[in-house]
Structure 1
Amino acid sequence: YCISREEMNVVMENFTYNGTLRSVTQVLYEDALVDSWVLTSSPASIVSVVAAYLVFVLYAGPKIMEKKKAFDLKLAMMPYNLIQVVYNFYLVAMLFTTDGALSYLMKHYCHPIDSRLNPLRLVLCTAMWHYTVLKFMDLVDTVFFVLRKKQDHVTFLHVYHHSAMALFSWATLKYLRGEQAVL
């Protein structure tokens, strides 16, 4: 079924999303932009990363480390932790230094305004992508536990939290960007 240009214009002008009027062009642009970022085009890459994480921290890692001496990872953990701190600081600074970002988050995040009127939309999408990357970087914490033979730290809650945060952060970026989401 082909849609005429006039019908498409009507759809584009009247597309309703979460109670707000949005332009289909804006939605398609955002989808294309976000899909062009690393790890966002398909759920396959994300599910693969989380599945590999689960296999390693719950089965393969402990099995490999069973007869090995615990690794001393202090030299690896120090730059990792520094990168985490700097990256988190960058993300917070991005929101604090972008004009209007905090007031938007306080006033409109639960009730998003029309995307065409929101100059912060791209900044918020970018911040959500950085947050998602941070959640995937957090998976390395558990890998360090396994390699240091601290398997008692690898609790159900710890593994569930890191897996869920990575998956839900990605899903929020992919499908709910600009919308209220409680992770």
Structure 2
Amino acid sequence: MLGYYNYLIEIGDTLIKNKFLLNSPTPSFVFLAIYLLLIYVIVPQYMKKKEPYTLKTIIFFYNIFQIVACTYVVYQFMTPLSEPLYNWNCDTFTHENTPKSQRRLKICYYVFLIKIVELVETVFFLMRKKLNQISGLHIYHHTSTLLLVWFLTRYYPGGLTAFWFMLNSGVHVLMYSYYFVTTLGPGFQKVSSFLKPIMTLVQMVQFVIIIVHVSQIILNPKCGLPFIVFGIVVFDAIFLFFMFASFFKATYLRNDKKKVK
């Protein structure tokens, strides 16, 4: 077991060179262990006899941070337009040390750091006592995404990965822009309420696009990515798609039926 763990550390993209939090899976597992301890034990116990916090200012600036950070990631992946860091078609992945691969690794690394920051959202829900928003989908999405992004950044920070990270960051720009609008008051919440189910559909469309895009690993062996990447990404995308679909059906379609009755 120890030998396999050392193997995981030794292999991978040679460009990371002891990059903070990337060299080993241990930091990610530690973050997730702390995350689960916080959301299942520490914060619920702390909030047991307390009134819910509003956290309006913190959430206001958190949404701004996410919008700016994700917009920056999308911008960096798409520019310069003459040689963007992503490609819809198979962008052959190699471990060659070039200015483009170094820049691509840097942006993938930023995505990984953003995913760590996103874990705080569950703590916000708990402190506001919005327990209905802490579903199995929510927790699985945060934990699986962090591990998947670590894996792709650590071993394959380029090729098809760049497109997936850019797509996900673009979706998050839309998502956090919607969240930001809802923090501006009841009037804005009412006007933007029609967007809520659309945000879930956008997430689902994202997973379909990723499944189609990753199929190039099978269709074009020259992509330079192994079958394990196809298996992990497709499994996660399909699982999340059906979880979001189930959430959409339970939350919005049933509500529509109740209104008709």
| C-alpha distance in structure 2 between counterparts of 1:114 and 1:168, whole Å | 19
1:112 aligned partner: 93
1:160 aligned partner: 140
| C-alpha distance in structure 2 between counterparts of 1:67 and 1:113, whole Å | 55
Change (3 A) 1:179 1:150: same
Q: CA deviation at 1:97?
A: 1.9
Q: CA deviation at 1:148?
A: 0.6
Q: What letter matches 1:100 in structure 2?
A: E
2:48 aligned partner: 66
Q: Which has the larger radius of gyration?
A: 1
Aligned residues of 2:90 and 2:159 also touching (Cα < 8 A):
no
1:100 aligned partner: 83
Q: CA deviation at 1:42?
A: 2.3
Q: Which runs of 5+ in 2 are unaligned?
A: 1-12, 162-232, 237-261
Q: How many residues are matched? A: 150
TM-score with structure 2 length normalisation? 0.53
| C-alpha distance in structure 1 between counterparts of 2:23 and 2:108, whole Å | 15
After TM superposition, the structure 1 = structure 2 runs for residues 1-183 of structure 1, keeping only pairs within 5 Å, are: 28=14, 30-32=15-17, 35-36=18-19, 38-98=20-80, 99-101=82-84, 105-109=87-91, 111-112=92-93, 115=96, 119-181=99-161, 182=233
| C-alpha distance in structure 2 between counterparts of 1:134 and 1:48, whole Å | 16
Change (3 A) 1:160 1:114: closer
Q: CA deviation at 1:53?
A: 0.6
Tell me the percent identity.
28
3-state secondary structure, aligned to 1:157: helix
Q: Which has the higher contact order (CA 8 A, sep 6+)?
A: 1
Q: Which runs of 5+ in 1 are unaligned?
A: 1-26
Q: What letter matches 1:170 in structure 2?
A: W
| C-alpha distance in structure 2 between counterparts of 1:177 and 1:128, whole Å | 6
Q: CA deviation at 1:39?
A: 1.6
Change (3 A) 1:87 1:31: closer
Aligned residues of 2:105 and 2:158 also touching (Cα < 8 A):
yes
Aligned residues of 2:108 and 2:153 also touching (Cα < 8 A):
yes
TM-score with structure 1 length normalisation? 0.73
| C-alpha distance in structure 2 between counterparts of 1:47 and 1:140, whole Å | 16
Q: CA deviation at 1:107?
A: 3.6
3-state secondary structure, aligned to 2:88: helix
| C-alpha distance in structure 1 between counterparts of 2:95 and 2:140, whole Å | 35
Q: CA deviation at 1:81?
A: 0.6
Which has a greater percent of helix? 2
| C-alpha distance in structure 2 between counterparts of 1:71 and 1:122, whole Å | 43
Moved runs in structure 1, 4+ residues, more than 6 A?
Answer: none
| C-alpha distance in structure 2 between counterparts of 1:114 and 1:146, whole Å | 42
